[in-house]
């Protein structure tokens, strides 16, 4: 008898999962399949932290399924499907559409050709409220509301006739990701159970101060939802999170925080839709007028990039943010924006030099959000407000007591706030007093902040007025912004 396969990608859950529901309704035995694909394991956007999170998510799913119902493969998806077709005979293939990198889109096109040749019915479900091939936003907001308020696609797992597949012998490279992880890890743990625990905990109290803690790199670690990684890897659907918000909408004292949180859920799909509609932004500015924007090159560019990646720029808020990301995979939105702004404006580097690095350190790397946001903060869209963040000012305002900086830059632990945000201003006597030698224990600033700000501001505003940039801006507004 032929079978139905549910091909898992960034949808690692067993609830509100339409491909799984449709497979169950097919009347055929069902097999879940996940592939640790070499094309992604070797991709520079990804890091071991991502695959460890995926492994934890798969283990969480396996604990709720009969043995053999979830097959984990170390081959690329097409090779895995070919092998399963020879063994079982695939009648139906179900999956979510993936709004991912170009290599996954090319892979999906190859799978579609193969399915057509083999007469396999491949049914893809939309990702959230994202519409494939959308060319305008005239009715998109109403569509988003319909999708988010629709009944969840749940099914009774016990009623499914599960296929029992023999576990593939996985290479050590992949097998290690399925091993139990230490509870002392600083990274969030993957899986549907962990996702719901995090979301429920948010509504049990820590989320009440969400709106007042968003911009603080320290407070945000506690009071933000912390569900971004679970959304990025599909341990939760956006619909599940949004409907949970609606259930708590009338809680006393929460309205401002819930309004702020729900707006960011809408924002989530908005930026992924941008990427879906203009996926070339993975490789070039979404506004083609910025292709010739002057950027630093040669040895100077490489030195600046290395310092930025390693958290050794001499600007404490920049360096603490990068080191926090390297150690935990998490950072609040304001500090992420500051990192991109500093890279592109103060260091005058092409945004493409840093985009893959931040993808590797963000545990919640979501291609659509990542590329859309990166270009917006880099100032190469021509339609968004130009923001050139001052890292000293950000430190003084968002980390007034230096708690965040001192946590991640222990070499500055004795320096009092606000001096800790501009340590190059310490006199030799103060450096001796606070047990830090600027230039040895902690680096000198890599650029002159006032000069880099003035140069970036002059260049960006001048460039924005160019005819090519303005023509592209007009095109982008028509495509990505809803009409009044």
pLDDT per residue over 284-343, tens digit each?
999 999 999 999 999 999 999 999 999 999 999 999 999 999 999 999 999 999 999 999
Fold of 282-480: DNA Cyclobutane Dipyrimidine Photolyase, subunit A; domain 3 (1.10.579)
Phi, psi of 93, rounded to the nearest 5 degrees: -120, 125
Please tell me what DSSP assigns to residue 165.
Answer: P
Q: Is the pLDDT of residue 169 over 90?
A: no
**Would you list the domain boundaries of the chain?**
3-125, 129-151+194-277, 282-480
Confidence of residue 484 (pLDDT cuts 50, 70, 90): low
The segment with the largest mean pLDDT, out of 5-19, 130-144, 178-192, is 5-19
Nearest to 54 by CA among 237, 176, 200, 183: 176
> Matching CATH topology for 3-125 and 282-480?
no
| 187 neighbors 363 (Cβ within 8 angstroms) | yes
Instruction: Tell me the two tokens of residue 359.
Output: 């993808």
pLDDT per residue over 41-50, tens digit each?
999 999 999 9
Mark out the alpha helices in 285-418 (DSSP H runs): 298-310, 316-328, 333-341, 355-361, 367-378, 391-398, 403-408
Length of the chain measured in residues: 484
What pLDDT does 184 receive?
59
Rounded mean pLDDT of the chain? 95
pLDDT per residue over 213-261, tens digit each?
999 999 999 999 999 999 999 999 999 999 999 999 999 999 999 999 9
Nearest to 199 by CA among 207, 210, 191: 207
Residues 6+ apart with CB under 8 A from 250: none
Cis ω before 180 (30° cut-off from 0): no
Q: What percent of the chain has pLDDT over 90?
A: 93
Q: Determine the CATH number of domain 129-151+194-277.
A: 1.25.40
Return d(Cα 408, Cα 316) in angstroms, integer: 9
What pLDDT does 323 receive?
98
Return d(Cα 440, Cα 420) in angstroms, integer: 16
How confident is the model over 430-448, as a mean pLDDT? 97
Superfamily of domain 3-125: HUPs (3.40.50.620)
| 409-439 as b/e: b if 16+ CB within 10 A | bebbeebeeeebbbbeebeeeebeebebebe
């Amino acid at each position: 008898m032929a079978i139905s396969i549910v091909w898992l990608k960034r949808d690692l859950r067993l609830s509100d999962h339409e491909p799984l529901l449709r497979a169950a309704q097919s009347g055929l035995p069902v097999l879940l399949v996940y592939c640790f694909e070499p094309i992604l394991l070797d991709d520079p956007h990804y890091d071991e932290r991502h695959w460890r999170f995926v492994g934890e998510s798969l283990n969480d799913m396996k604990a709720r399924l009969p043995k053999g119902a979830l097959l984990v493969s170390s081959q690329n998806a097409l090779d895995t499907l070919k092998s399963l077709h020879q063994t079982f005979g695939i009648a139906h293939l179900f999956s979510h559409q993936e709004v991912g990198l170009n290599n996954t889109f090319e892979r999906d096109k190859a799978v579609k050709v193969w399915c057509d040749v083999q007469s396999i019915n491949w049914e893809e479900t939309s990702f959230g409220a994202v519409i494939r091939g959308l060319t305008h936003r005239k009715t998109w907001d109403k569509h988003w509301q319909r999708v988010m308020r629709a009944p969840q696609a749940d099914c009774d797992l016990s009623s499914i006739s599960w296929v029992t597949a023999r576990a593939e012998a996985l290479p050590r490279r992949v097998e290690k990701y399925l091993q139990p992880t230490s509870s002392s890890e600083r990274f969030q743990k993957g899986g549907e159970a962990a996702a719901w625990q995090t979301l429920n905990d948010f509504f049990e109290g820590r989320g009440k101060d969400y709106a007042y803690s968003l911009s603080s790199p320290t407070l945000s670690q506690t009071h933000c939802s912390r569900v971004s990684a679970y959304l990025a890897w599909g341990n939760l659907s956006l619909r599940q999170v949004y409907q949970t918000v609606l259930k708590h909408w009338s809680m006393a004292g929460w309205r401002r925080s819930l309004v702020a949180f729900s707006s960011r859920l809408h924002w989530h799909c908005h930026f992924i839709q941008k990427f879906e509609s203009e996926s070339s932004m993975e490789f070039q500015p979404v506004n083609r007028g910025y292709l010739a924007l002057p950027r630093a090159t040669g040895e100077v560019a490489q030195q600046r990039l290395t310092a930025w990646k390693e958290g050794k720029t001499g600007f404490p808020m920049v360096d603490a943010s990068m080191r926090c990301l390297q150690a935990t995979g998490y950072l609040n939105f304001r500090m992420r924006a500051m990192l991109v702004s500093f890279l592109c404006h103060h260091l005058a580097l092409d945004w493409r030099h840093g985009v893959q690095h931040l993808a590797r350190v963000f545990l919640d790397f979501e291609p659509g959000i990542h590329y859309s946001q990166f270009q917006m903060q880099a100032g190469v869209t021509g339609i968004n407000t130009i923001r050139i963040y001052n890292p000293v000012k950000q430190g003084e305002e968002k980390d007034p007591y230096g708690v965040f900086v001192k946590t991640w830059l222990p070499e500055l632990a004795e320096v009092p706030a606000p001096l800790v945000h501009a340590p190059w201003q310490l006199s030799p006597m103060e450096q001796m007093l606070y047990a830090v030698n600027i230039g040895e224990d902690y680096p000198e600033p890599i650029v002159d902040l006032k000069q880099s700000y003035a140069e970036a501001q002059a260049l960006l505003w001048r460039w924005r007025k160019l005819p090519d940039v303005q023509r592209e801006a007009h095109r982008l507004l028509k495509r990505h912004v809803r009409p009044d």
